[in-house]
Amino acid sequence: MMVESVKATSDINSPVSGKVVEVNEVLSESPGLVNRSPYEDGWIIKVELSDAGESKMLEGKAKVEDTDMPVKMQMQALKIASQSLDLFDVSDCQSLAAHVKKEFDERYGSGWQCVVGSNFGCFFTHSKGTFIYFHLGTLNFLIFKGATL
């Protein structure tokens, strides 16, 4: 099964694993194309899935609202959040957030923060390249590394 990337980096709908078979090199010369249709010239990568079931597993469940993270880190955020939902009850937001924070601290160094819930407000300063806010199912996930002042 072949999957093409979606319209924009911030619109990636689900973390999948597999072999990258093609990268759209035109985007580095014309980054404005990212916001065009993925069915024309706005696609980012093509991936050959290692497990065809993955495309259905999170289909339509995840939506990145805002981020400044590198794409690979975004994919890890979605994957770790999804795994946390397999480990803990959806109503146990504290355990979900603790799991995501622990995984990010282990992978990317200490200092990560995670907020999980269906209704919250926040105001914070984060280190450049470490922020993501997304929905997964009915929950919102906010992950960032605090900035040192």
Read off the pLDDT of residues 68-83 as tens digits, 9 standing for 90 and up. Answer: 999 999 999 999 999 9
Whether the pTM exceeds 0.75: the reply is no
* pLDDT higher than threshold 50 for residue 4: no
Domain ranges of the chain: 2-57, 62-145
Q: What is the pLDDT of residue 103?
A: 97
Which residues neighbour 118 within 8 Å (Cβ) at sequence distance 6 or greater?
Answer: 138, 139, 140
* pLDDT higher than threshold 60 for residue 56: no
Q: What is the mean pLDDT of residues 42-55?
A: 56
Sign of the four-CA dihedral 53, 55, 59, 61: positive
Mean pLDDT of the chain: 77
What angle in degrees, to the nearest 10, is found between the helix axes of 93-108 and 71-87? 140
Read off the pLDDT of residues 108-144 as tens digits, 9 standing for 90 and up. Answer: 999 999 999 998 888 888 899 999 999 988 899 999 9
What is the three-state SS of the chain? CEEECCCCHHHCCCCCCEEEEEECCHHHHCHHHHHCCCCCCCCCEEEEECCCCHHHHCCCCEEEEEECCCHHHHHHHHHHHHHHHHHCCCCCHHHHHHHHHHHHHHHHCCCEEEEEECCCCCCCCECCCCCEEEEECCEEEEEEEECCC
* pLDDT higher than threshold 90 for residue 55: no
Pick 2-57's CATH classification: 2.40.50.100, 2.40.110.20, 1.10.420.10, 3.40.190.10. Answer: 2.40.50.100
CATH topology of domain 62-145: Protein Inhibitor Of Neuronal Nitric Oxide Synthase (3.30.740)
Q: What is the rounded distance in angstroms from the CA atom of residue 76 to the CA atom of residue 35?
A: 22
